[in-house]
């Protein structure tokens, strides 16, 4: 059986790589008895994956039961899962089998495993290690043969750090982990799912399926969908029921979903945004090149005008030349290379080893205050080379130069005013 047939059998819509990878893992592990931990945000369809694993396993003729651990009160969850004996607690008028004993030979799906109390986790660990359960109020154990599939929408490693989940249980449960991708990570599947839902509701309510314009599709695909597939299905049903028009525009879609344009600003992606961000990066590189040339010029003038002695720097020269060459290639600028700068006529002569510079007769000497032939230690301050820090600094300088006028600042940076606004919000820049 291939992935496509599994999708048709279980009504799964989508072609994203993340979805296909999760389905492929589920199919490969289904023929074993290994414990599986399914992770993913709420509403992505984790229970469907548990049913796929059970239906393709040798236990497919046995019972399957799904238990939401977060929905059972802490005081009764042990009884629900492992059963109890008569008189074990107030109201226990007789013996009762728990879910594990009921589905013996089958599969149990423990949803929201992260909400399971620590005491119950200890009992579950015993089931995984020895295949034994102890009913509440009983002193004897009962052997069970049950495959466990667990699921969670929270980070269990964080729960472990906080002491709310057993580390040994986590590693026993996650023998085979399966990550079901969130809807925001399956952009190519969003409109496919929406069309499936509106067609289903059109058939249910005996109406024509609604359609979205191109901008409306972009809004759908770029929305965060915190509720995942469940939220998308609710939106499709809401519009199918309430809309009087078959063709829905982006503006009408915003009326039904006001947050769709607020959670992802800008809601419709700007095709020029990547290009404009590269322009900022190139401008940063140009300025770095110019500052480096100014620094070299100042350094060589000091050496030249004060007849200073220098150690051989042939290796450093080659390293510097290599660095400058890389800047030259990246920026495609008209700056001259280091050798050209060093060898041009600036009023000094150069030895072959670059160990000594001699001023010419017409070269004026600057006065260096406090020069006695000895040099004090200089503290080297490392400048941040983070692209984000440099980009933020460039934006601040541009805004300061034009006194907060975004249009002029954006023009100076070579980006659109819209991109500048987004960068200001991203870096929390005060204007």
Using left for φ > 0, alpha for ψ between -120 and 50, and beta otherwise, residue 367 falls in beta
What are the angstrom distances between the C-alpha of 119 and each of 53, 412, 418?
28, 64, 55
CA-to-CA separations, 156 to 153, 173, 212, 337, 360, in angstroms, rounded: 9, 11, 39, 55, 74
- Residue 342 CA to residue 47 CA, distance in Å, equals 70
Q: Render each residue's pLDDT in the chain as its tens digit; 431 residues.
A: 789 999 999 999 999 999 999 999 999 999 999 999 999 999 999 999 999 999 999 999 999 999 999 999 988 999 999 999 988 888 888 888 999 999 999 999 999 999 999 999 999 999 999 999 999 988 889 999 999 999 999 999 999 999 999 999 999 999 999 999 999 999 999 999 999 999 999 999 998 999 999 999 999 999 999 999 999 999 999 999 998 888 999 999 998 888 886 644 443 444 445 555 666 676 677 677 777 887 877 777 777 777 666 555 444 455 545 544 554 554 444 444 444 444 444 444 444 333 344 445 554 554 444 444 444 444 444 556 677 778 888 888 888 888 888 888 888 888 888 788 788 888 888 76
Contact 418, 268 (CB under 8 A): no
- For the chain, give every domain's residue range: 3-181, 184-261, 299-359, 387-427
Total-model pTM = 0.59
What is the fold of 184-261?
Helicase, Ruva Protein; domain 3 (1.10.8)
Pick the CATH number of 3-181 from 3.40.50.2300, 1.10.286.10, 3.40.50.300, 3.90.1150.10: 3.40.50.300
Task: Specify the CATH number of the domain 387-427.
Answer: 1.10.10
How big is the CA angle at 422 (ends 420 and 428), to the nearest 5 degrees? 100
Query: Which residue, 244, 254, 189, 3, is CA-closest to 197?
Result: 189
């Amino acid at each position: 059986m291939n992935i496509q047939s599994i999708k048709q059998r279980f009504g799964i819509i989508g072609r994203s790589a993340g979805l296909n990878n999760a389905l492929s893992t589920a199919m490969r592990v289904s023929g074993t008895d290994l414990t599986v931990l399914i992770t993913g945000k709420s509403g992505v369809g984790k229970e469907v994956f548990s049913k796929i694993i059970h239906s393709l396993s040798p236990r497919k003729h046995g019972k399957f039961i799904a238990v939401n651990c977060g929905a059972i009160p802490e005081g009764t969850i042990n009884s629900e899962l492992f059963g109890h004996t008569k008189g074990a607690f107030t109201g226990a008028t007789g013996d009762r089998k728990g879910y594990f004993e009921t589905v013996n030979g089958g599969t149990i799906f423990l949803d929201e495993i992260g909400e399971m109390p620590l005491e119950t986790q200890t009992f579950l660990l015993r089931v995984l290690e020895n295949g034994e359960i102890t009913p509440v109020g009983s002193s004897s154990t009962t052997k069970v043969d049950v495959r466990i599939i667990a699921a969670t929408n929270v980070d269990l490693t964080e729960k472990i750090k906080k002491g709310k989940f057993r580390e040994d249980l986590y590693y026993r449960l996650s023998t085979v982990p399966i990550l079901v991708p969130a809807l925001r990570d399956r952009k190519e599947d969003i409109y496919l799912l929406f069309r499936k839902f509106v067609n289903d509701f059109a058939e249910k309510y005996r109406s024509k399926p609604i359609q979205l314009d191109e901008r409306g599709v972009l809004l759908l695909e770029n929305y965060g969908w915190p509720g995942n597939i469940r939220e998308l299905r609710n939106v499709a049903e809401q519009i199918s029921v309430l809309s009087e028009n078959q063709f829905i525009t982006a503006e009408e879609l915003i009326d039904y979903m006001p947050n769709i344009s607020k959670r992802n600003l800008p809601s419709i992606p700007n095709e020029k945004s990547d290009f404009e961000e590269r322009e900022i990066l190139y401008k940063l590189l140009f300025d770095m090149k110019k500052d480096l040339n100014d620094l070299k010029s100042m350094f060589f003038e000091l050496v030249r005008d004060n007849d200073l002695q220098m150690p051989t720097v042939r290796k450093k020269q080659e390293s510097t030349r290599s660095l400058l060459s890389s800047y030259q290639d990246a920026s495609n600028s008209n700056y001259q290379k280091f050798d050209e700068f060093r060898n041009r006529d600036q009023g000094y002569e150069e030895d072959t080893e670059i160990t000594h510079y001699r001023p010419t007769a017409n070269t004026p000497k600057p006065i260096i205050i406090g020069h006695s032939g000895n040099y004090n230690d200089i503290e080297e301050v490392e400048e941040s080379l983070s692209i984000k820090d440099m980009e933020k600094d460039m934006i601040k300088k541009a805004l300061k130069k034009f006194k907060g006028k975004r249009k002029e600042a954006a023009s100076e940076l070579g980006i659109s005013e819209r991109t500048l606004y987004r960068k200001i919000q991203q870096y929390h820049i005060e204007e």
